Amino acid sequence: MKKRLLLYIWIMTGVIAGCSSEKSQTNTVNIEEVEIVAPNVPGAGWDLTARAMQKTLTEEKIFTKPITVTNKVGGSGDVGWKYTKQKGGHVLAINSSLLITNNLLGHSKLTYKDFTPLATLASDWEVVVVSKDSNIENAKQLMEQLKQDKKNFKIGVAPGLGNDDHLSFVQVSKAFGINPAELQFFVYENKEKIINALKNKQIGAATMTLSEAEKQYKASKIKILAVSAPKRLDRLPEIPTWKEQGINVVFQHWKGIMGPKDMTEEEVAYWDGVIKRMVESESWKGILRERGWESFYK
């Protein structure tokens, strides 16, 4: 099942990448406004991506009509993606591998075939965190404690199992010799609830993206034990990688953009051109640097 799951994730990435083309950016598509759906709460990874698009397209005058970001929370992204499917028209949605894993795990009937994949945009790194007053000081200590007490050690993840936060920690556990099926994952609706759960000692650790953890980390509310990058990051050089702590794991979390299933070739070509101009702009590159994201445009 896990091999099949990873295969489908890579298939989805390939499908999205295949939608980016060299077609002309000039066309006769008339769009009066666009809505970008972020299927989670404000400040979460999908929301940050949607607002980065909104900011760049507006500031660079790539799209001069109104752009609205709509947050639709619930169902591990499913509520927002169902909304996108039902609305049609020029309603776009931020996506990730969770669109596929939701279906494979039986959490949703939606698949990428219900939409028009437009592009992958950026990638983030995964981190594992504990509360600021936790006695766990490094990733190896965490994994040793987890190995000794798998039934009682609780790990927080949001918004659902099967997302990259979950899968990255599964990969780490396997690399450390722990059977992921024995781990106790607790699912929360969003990262804010995870932070509260850490503070209240309802969970011992949590897995999330760096961009979601960074604000809490800089406010000294949590400790980041490891980042899934191949080497330490320039902007947070004090955070060690999994690899340097003896766990050979590198894991990137990508985010993309998709539209309704019934988009015409002209509309796809239009958005292909718009997105290409966006990711090549200085505004977009600045946001990537600010958030520590990697360009993953395909």
> How much is the pLDDT for 25?
44
Which tens digits make up the pLDDT trace of 165-181? 999 999 999 999 999 99
> How much is the pLDDT for 76?
87
Asked if 63 and 57 count as a contact pair (C-beta separation under 8 A), the reply is yes
> How much is the pLDDT for 22?
40
- Other beta carbons within 10 angstroms of residue 161's beta carbon come to 17
> How much is the pLDDT for 104?
83
* CA neighbor of 197 nearest in space, from 210, 184, 181: 184
The domains located in the chain, with CATH, are 2-123+253-295 (3.40.190.150), 125-245 (3.40.190.10)
Mean pLDDT per block of 10 residues along the chain (298 residues) reads: 44 47 53 95 91 98 97 93 91 92 87 94 96 97 96 93 93 96 94 94 96 93 97 94 96 95 94 97 95 91
What are the φ and ψ backbone dihedral angles of 24, each rounded to 5 degrees?
-60, 145
> How much is the pLDDT for 285?
97
In the structure encoding, which two tokens stand for residue 276, read together? Answer: 């290409």
